[in-house]
Structure 1
Amino acid sequence: MKWRSARRSSNVEDRRGMAGPGGGGMKLGLGGVAIVVVIGMLMGKNPLEMLGLIAQVQQQAPAGPSGPATAPPVDDEASQFVASILGETEDVWSAVFQASGQRYPPAQLVLFSGSVQSACGGATAAVGPFYCPGDQKVYIDLSFFQQMRDRLGGGGDFAEAYVIAHEVGHHIQTLTGVSAKVNQIRQRGGNVEGAEGPLVRQELQADCYAGLWAHHAQKRHAWLEPGDLEEALNTATAIGDDTLQRQGQGQVVPDSFTHGSAQQRVRWFRIGFEGGDYRQCDTFGAGQL
């Protein structure tokens, strides 16, 4: 992927190397558990899965000094890549919003290492990349991309771009009121999980938005190389609910889906990528996902 041709966004905040909540081998108490549950609800993730991931990371983390991590060099290649992808999402979505007579207020992206504080509460790297509607920021610990390659069977620069664009898709949903509607269903006590539920529809729409972004970015830069699209599709497959459940618990429980099956995630990314049409990403109006 020839990402260096994209404009680099100035909306990247680099907090890597800064001590966040839980730095130095945190163990969750009751307060920490409560924070994880709240973050899970805000981000549409299963809190029990998040707690399990955090426990795994804590068990596997090597013992060592509890001081803050060493910050990487300023403007290293990883941060340049993130800034380039974020800049391209800004340019694409600005054009989409302008076409309907609106202005696009971009999201900020925070790079962190280990743990971070957001308007949605404290979070660790085990949560994975997330978007917080409270401060309209995307949070990413870049070690997640290494996990994609080593443990999830995905990875590659275009796959990483897909992850960033997916989280920016949640920003679009905040701007358009979709996220608020899903939260209203949850607050009224409605069931938001399940293979056809609101959470899955919300996540699949973000996948479609990621594909839409990739469609327009490719038209602007012709930056995809052989194998890039397959990287993104392999990653979408690797992070499907059914794939993760089969790996983690040996069985698939569609009633507990929060992000969509591997097939669904690939399908909706393709819809966005092949059509490039904002209106085709209406997963809430789709009869079948």
Structure 2
Amino acid sequence: MEYRDDARIDTAEVRRGGGSGRRGGGRMAIGGGVGGVVVLVLVLLFGNNLGINLEDVMGTGDTGQDPGNGQSEISCTGLKGSDLEANPECRWDAYASAIQGYWSTAVDGFEPAPMQIFSGQISTACGTGSSEMGPFYCPGDATVYVDTQFTEKLLTQLGATGGDAAEAYVVAHEFGHHISNLTGQMEKSRAGGNDTGPKSNQVRLELQADCYAGVFFANTVKDANSPIQKVTRDDLARVADAASAVGDDHIQEQGGGRVVPESWTHGSSEMRQRWVTKGFDSGDPNACDTFSAKDL
């Protein structure tokens, strides 16, 4: 993935360090591209057999915040695409800048979502977020939360080839949830409860976020102000590879269990790749109506 040298990286909505989310109960965070699948889904599926306490991962545990890793000391203010080679940690700001830049022109009444970069655990309006969840979106405070270092490791652990394009896909997926939230589709999908299965509303919501991620990739390269200038065939392969790595069936296989479609909350590897591709090929957010689709 190539960056546009003269494009300004908008860091206004990117936060680093301890975070500013509200503590306490609320709407559950929407698990996204990586860790939300690996930990949260496995806990829900296998419970104590994995020896994982859901409260430690997300919810009611009385845990502190750990800004860690010097994240709060990093400043990407005033940088351009040409500065990313010397400031690689600021690539996350470039992803967020490009993603929000596109959606601000594609959605009427768009409201930007902060991206909180943290390490360890953090307080959110959806409860206590943990790095082990991977990136997630909290509708309660309309914020995308990312532990960047842990996300890099998770992509590797899941067998994805990684790279900037794969990381950008993970972030774009979480911002896709923000779009579903703004348009009211998220609230409608939750009205029927937390159902599971390959055609459940949970799966449809996740696939919509995948599709929105594909739409973003198709359009950002056309924007002269986007930090992302070019997405190559290899980049697209990495995006598809990352989408496959976070499929429910792949996660269940890696967990040592059998594939149980009735328990799916995010969709199979094939489904996730299909909707990312559909979004990219169409370049149209209207093509992402997963809730009306009969064939997912």
Instruction: Note if 1:264 corresponds to 2:268.
Output: no
User: For 1:111-190, what aligned pairs fall within 5 Å after superposition?
Assistant: 111-154=117-160, 155-186=162-193
Gaps spanning 5+ residues in structure 2: where? 57-64, 77-86
C-alpha deviation, 1:55, in angstroms? 6.2
> Equivalent residue for 2:281?
274
Instruction: Note if 1:90 corresponds to 2:100.
Output: yes
| Structure 2 CA distance for partners of 1:213 and 1:2, relative to 1, 3 Å | same
Letter aligned with residue 271 of structure 1? K
C-alpha deviation, 1:67, in angstroms? 8.1
Where 2:293 maps in the other structure, the secondary structure is: coil
Instruction: Note if 1:217 corresponds to 2:220.
Output: yes
Q: What CA RMSD, in Å, does the superposition of the two structures yield over aligned residues?
A: 2.8
Where 2:145 maps in the other structure, the secondary structure is: strand
C-alpha deviation, 1:75, in angstroms? 2.6
Letter aligned with residue 98 of structure 2? E
Q: 2:242 aligns with which of 232, 235, 239?
A: 235
**CA distance in 1: counterparts of 2:121 and 2:51, whole angstroms:** 14
Letter aligned with residue 269 of structure 2? A
Q: Deviations over 1:225-263 (max 9, x none)?
A: 351111111110110000000110331000000000000
Letter aligned with residue 14 of structure 1? R
> Equivalent residue for 1:49?
42
C-alpha deviation, 1:120, in angstroms? 0.5
| Structure 2 CA distance for partners of 1:54 and 1:235, relative to 1, 3 Å | farther
C-alpha deviation, 1:144, in angstroms? 2.9
Where 1:285 maps in the other structure, the secondary structure is: coil
Q: 1:201 aligns with which of 199, 204, 223?
A: 204
Letter aligned with residue 104 of structure 2? S
Gaps spanning 5+ residues in structure 1: where? 21-33, 59-65
**CA distance in 2: counterparts of 1:183 and 1:95, whole angstroms:** 27
C-alpha deviation, 1:80, in angstroms? 1.6
Q: Structure 1 length as normaliser, TM-score? A: 0.80
Q: Report % sequence identity.
A: 38
C-alpha deviation, 1:276, in angstroms? 0.4
**CA distance in 1: counterparts of 2:51 and 2:273, whole angstroms:** 24
C-alpha deviation, 1:219, in angstroms? 2.5
* Higher helix fraction (1 or 2): 1
C-alpha deviation, 1:68, in angstroms? 6.5
Q: Structure 2 length as normaliser, TM-score? A: 0.78
Q: 1:107 aligns with which of 109, 113, 117?
A: 113
